[in-house]
Structure 1
Amino acid sequence: MDGALRRRAGGIRGLLRLLSEHGEAVEADLLRHYHVDLLDLWRGALTWRRLRVLVEHLPPDAATVRALRGQTPEEEFWTPDRQLLATIADRVAEGTYAQVRLHGDPKRTRRIRPPEPIPRPGVSARRPRNTIRFGGRHGSGAQQLARVFGGAPT
């Protein structure tokens, strides 16, 4: 279990601290993964040693592991496999965009914008370019430049 539990104090004292801080997550994980009720510890059907072994070998997606890592719900959602799937989807969209721009009719494809990446932690959205687009009419560029720099057009 990532070593997060192993870095804490061991033994019964460490398990008591874990249960006091994340008892609900431990209880949910024991039921979900092992079909063991945490109340069995107080009933005498579950030993402290067995509880330690079960908790130490919880899978990485277990609620206890996530609670020990201190992740936000959004970070919990973006597991490595979902990150890879989002990256693949972004690359496919970029490839499609490139194919359409390269092989499409220039008159029809010039207004097509590049695809935005799927929003996720660690991936920043594209910033809008600070380019001045001219309307194609004579003198329209001077007016736009004047607005950008706060002056009056000449």
Structure 2
Amino acid sequence: MDLLDWHRGRLSSRRLAVLVQHMPRDSALVRELSGEAADWGVTDYLLAHVVDQLQDANWMFATVNADEDSDPLDHPEPVHRPGQPHEPDQTAGNTPEHSLPSPEELQRFFA
């Protein structure tokens, strides 16, 4: 398909918009706009979520069955997903996924 056909009047603006909206994930435009997220589909995100849940379950099992005198186990890191920073945010001492609300925040929420 020649995109100059749009300038020549042989390709409608609507048809051009449909072609651009439905470009394949491996096209140069989608890769430029989405970055590494273009490589991830729904299956990849679901699989990463399953891995995270399995890591959490194994961590809980190991924590519950650990000796009382042993050091607590570190919580597992979630699988990196496109668009997320590689390093967790340590500004508050907790990663955002594991920070707990304060009693005041809970009271405001349930009030």
Q: TM-score, normalised by structure 2?
A: 0.51
Aligned ranges 1:5-154 → 2 under 5 Å: 15-17=1-3, 61-64=24-27, 67=29, 70-72=33-35, 74-108=36-70, 110-123=71-84, 126-128=88-90, 130=93
Structure 1 Cα separation of the partners of residues 84 and 43 of structure 2: 15
Q: CA deviation at 1:106?
A: 2.4
For residues 112-132 of structure 1, give each alpha carbon's deviation from its aligned partner in whole angstroms, at most 9, with x where no partner exists.
Answer: 20000011125565444539x
Structure 2 Cα separation of the partners of residues 122 and 86 of structure 1: 14
Amino acid at match of 1:88: V
What's the C-alpha RMSD, in Å, of the aligned pairs? 3.6
Structure 2 Cα separation of the partners of residues 63 and 97 of structure 1: 37
Figure out how many residues of one structure are paired with residues of the other and give that number: 79
Indicate the structure (1 or 2) with the bigger Cα radius of gyration.
1
Q: TM-score, normalised by structure 1?
A: 0.39
Structure 1 Cα separation of the partners of residues 51 and 4 of structure 2: 39
- Structure 2: gaps spanning 5 or more residues: 6-10, 95-111
Amino acid at match of 2:82: P
Aligned sequence identity (%): 22
Q: 1:79 to 1:96 in 2, by over 3 A?
A: same
Q: Please identify which structure carries the higher helix content.
A: 1
For residues 60-107 of structure 1, give each alpha carbon's deviation from its aligned partner in whole angstroms, at most 9, with x where no partner exists.
Answer: 75534x7358321x1112211101101100010011101111122122
SS in 2 for 1:98: helix
